């Protein structure tokens, strides 16, 4: 919930700063506001505040979206979006000494056991199972 508060407050301040910046710039362009050192630094500070808030807000949103979610019943976390299917399949095939058919069989077994999960999840699950089996030997 803390991240949602940060996002809501950041969005409000970003909106307010954007409106104020738009107003100041329109007054400068229309000639109702004299261009001097004070208006220059004021406008520059509004631009910096707006840019910083924009960057921080979208950085926070991206970080929140990429955070893996946990699943109940002891099933491992879902894999981040940035990890591709092919990377995980290549890791799995490498663990199986290049046996592509065995990798596909293990993925299909995981799909039958845990239906409805993303493709990345099945690869990660099989990799975790292999690690656990090898460390248990």
Average pLDDT value for the chain: 80
pLDDT tens digits, one per residue of 14-33: 888 888 888 888 898 888 88
pLDDT for the residue numbered 111: 92
- Residues with Cβ within 8 Å of 25's Cβ and at least 6 positions away in sequence, in order, are 43
Please tell me which residue, 76 or 53, carries the higher pLDDT value.
Answer: 53
Percent over 70 (pLDDT), the chain: 82
pLDDT for the residue numbered 18: 84
130 touches 136 (CB < 8 A)? no
Q: What is the pTM of this model?
A: 0.41
> Residue 81 carries which DSSP code?
T
pLDDT tens digits, one per residue of 37-67: 888 888 888 888 888 888 888 877 777 666 6
């Amino acid at each position: 919930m803390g991240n949602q508060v940060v996002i809501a407050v950041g969005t409000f301040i970003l909106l307010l700063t954007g409106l104020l910046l738009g107003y100041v710039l329109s007054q400068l362009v229309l000639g109702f506001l004299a261009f001097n050192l004070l208006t220059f630094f004021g406008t520059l500070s509004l631009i910096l505040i707006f840019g910083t808030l924009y960057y921080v807000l979208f950085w926070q949103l991206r970080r929140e979206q990429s955070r893996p979610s946990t699943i109940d019943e002891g099933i491992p976390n879902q894999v981040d979006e940035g990890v591709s299917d092919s990377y995980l399949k290549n890791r799995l095939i490498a663990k199986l000494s290049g046996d592509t058919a065995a990798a596909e069989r293990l993925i299909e077994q995981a799909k039958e056991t845990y239906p409805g999960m993303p493709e990345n999840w099945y690869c990660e699950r099989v990799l975790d199972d292999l690690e656990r089996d090898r460390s248990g030997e």
